[in-house]
């Protein structure tokens, strides 16, 4: 608090990222990062990057990268927008589409950055409760609204909403619908093909999860050219060069190695399924996950206690002290060795 702050800064409730303590080495299963390195082609592209180019501004339009994404998703280049992490793409989207005289709708249990953007851009919103089993019921969204957003799979529940339901939602809604597919590559089906018929649908993706490039900060949105133009208008009124040239080079190399991308996602899916069975054997109820994390509660021990005891034993998982989910843990799928450590520490404390 300071006399120099504006009212809006006073009122902000900023997002709190998962903890990154430095006091000891932890097995980090709390921020949904990928445990595997990026493709060797990415490393090679960064190593051989011509450092002399650093004196120049990068391509403000990320043209080659947008072309590569357009070709991968069978859309046109003007259907693609790139940002500094999908968080930035989302932030611009909130500003571009959701400041309306009707409230934005999103699930009560969802990505906790959404209400933060609403605070920043002064967007009116209404949360829609998930069903008791934590699923999204699209019938609940058939009310007057200034936009709809949800992650698919949802975070932190990890549950997938079938594409037919997303299509029905877009068909019957006159405002913009954003499907945040940060985790779609771990077994979900992308709604990107639906953007061809539904001009109000925007789909966002991240390079942070399945492509192991969280440190590079890259995300993108695909949708009708008018939606993309709105995002470009915001971007070019904020920061014309959000994607540095090393990031553009590395992302292209990642897109050129689809085999590696598929193999590392498949590995995570296999570990997730094994981990789900092991957790169930220890008395956890684990929701069926379509993501690189699971959401689980134990039949006797409170989640907070498990979280604290795991932390004391050097394993970090995510605990949310929030209504409805305060007895759940969100656990990122790590390597097989990391999950073996998790399971053995859990056995000690249960």
Ligand X SMILES: Cc1ncc(COP(=O)(O)O)c(C=O)c1O
Residue 21 has which token pair?
A: 């303590």
219 part of the interface to ligand X, by CB under 6 A: yes
Establish whether the linkage from the previous residue to 50 is cis, with ω within 30° of 0: no
Q: Which C-beta is closer to ligand X: that of 46 or that of 214? A: 214
Site for ligand X in 239-258 (CB under 6 A): none
- DSSP state letter for 290: S
Which one among 214, 256, 301, 343 touches ligand X, defined by CB under 6 A? 214
155 part of the interface to ligand X, by CB under 6 A: yes
Inter-CA distances, 248 with 59, 241, 307, Å: 9, 11, 38
Render the burial of 247-256: b for 16+ CB within 10 Å, e for the rest: bbbbbbbbbe
Q: Which residues pair with 128 in a beta bridge?
A: 107
Alpha-carbon gap, residue 117 to 123, rounded angstroms: 8
Q: Which C-beta is closer to ligand X: that of 206 or that of 249? A: 206
Beta strand pairing status for 201-206 and 104-107? unpaired
Question: Binding string to ligand X for residues 257 to 296, with x set by CB under 6 A, is what?
Answer: ----------------------------------------
* CB-CB neighbours of 157 under 10 Å: 27
Task: State the distance between the two ends of the chain, measured CA to CA, in whole angstroms.
Answer: 44
68 part of the interface to ligand X, by CB under 6 A: no
Binding piece for ligand X, criterion CB under 6 A, among 62-70, 80-88, 162-170, 241-249? 80-88
Q: Which C-beta is closer to ligand X: that of 17 or that of 302? A: 17
Residues 6+ apart with CB under 8 A from 276: 286, 289, 294
Alpha-carbon gap, residue 139 to 35, rounded angstroms: 37
Binding piece for ligand X, criterion CB under 6 A, among 85-93, 128-136, 191-199, 275-283? 85-93
146 part of the interface to ligand X, by CB under 6 A: no
Q: Which C-beta is closer to ligand X: that of 87 or that of 185? A: 87
Residue 170 has which token pair?
A: 């877009």
Smallest distance from ligand X to CB 321, Å = 18
Which one among 169, 180, 319, 338 touches ligand X, defined by CB under 6 A? 180
Sign, Cα dihedral of 154, 160, 161, 167: positive
185 part of the interface to ligand X, by CB under 6 A: no
Binding piece for ligand X, criterion CB under 6 A, among 22-30, 83-91, 249-257, 338-346? 83-91
151 part of the interface to ligand X, by CB under 6 A: yes
Site for ligand X in 26-65 (CB under 6 A): 32
The residues that touch ligand X, with contacts defined as CB under 6 A, are: 32, 85-87, 111, 151, 155, 180, 182, 206, 208, 214, 219
């Amino acid at each position: 608090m300071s006399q120099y702050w504006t009212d809006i800064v006073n009122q902000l409730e900023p997002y709190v990222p998962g903890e990154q303590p430095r006091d000891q080495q932890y097995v980090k299963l709390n921020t949904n990062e990928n445990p595997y390195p990026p493709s060797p082609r990415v490393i090679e592209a960064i190593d051989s990057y011509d450092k002399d180019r650093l004196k120049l501004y990068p391509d403000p339009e990320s043209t080659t990268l947008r072309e590569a994404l357009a070709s991968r998703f069978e859309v046109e280049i003007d259907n693609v927008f790139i940002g500094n992490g999908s968080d930035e793409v989302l932030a611009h989207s909130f500003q571009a589409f959701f400041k309306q005289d009707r409230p934005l709708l999103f699930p009560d249990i969802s990505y906790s950055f959404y209400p933060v953007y609403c605070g920043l851009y002064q967007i009116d919103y209404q949360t829609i409760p998930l069903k008791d089993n934590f699923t999204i019921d699209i019938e609940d969204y058939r009310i007057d609204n200034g936009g709809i957003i949800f992650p698919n799979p949802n975070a932190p529940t990890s549950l997938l909403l079938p594409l037919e339901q997303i299509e029905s939602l877009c068909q019957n809604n006159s405002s913009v619908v954003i499907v945040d597919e940060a985790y779609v590559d771990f077994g979900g089906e992308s709604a990107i093909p639906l953007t061809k018929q539904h001009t109000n649908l925007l789909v966002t993706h991240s390079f942070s999860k399945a492509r192991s490039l969280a440190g590079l900060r890259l995300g993108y949105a695909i949708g009708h050219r008018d939606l993309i133009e709105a995002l470009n208008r915001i971007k070019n009124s904020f920061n014309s060069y959000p994607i540095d040239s090393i990031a553009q080079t590395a992302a292209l190399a990642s897109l050129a190695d689809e085999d590696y991308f598929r193999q590392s996602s498949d590995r995570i899916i296999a570990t997730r399924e094994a981990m789900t069975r092991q957790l169930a054997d220890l008395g956890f109820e684990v929701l069926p996950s379509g993501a690189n994390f699971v959401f689980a509660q134990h039949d006797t021990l409170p989640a907070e206690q498990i979280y604290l005891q795991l932390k004391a034993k050097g394993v970090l998982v995510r605990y949310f002290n929030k209504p409805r989910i305060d007895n759940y843990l969100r656990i990122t799928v790590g390597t097989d060795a990391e999950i073996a450590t998790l399971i053995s520490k859990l056995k000690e404390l249960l």
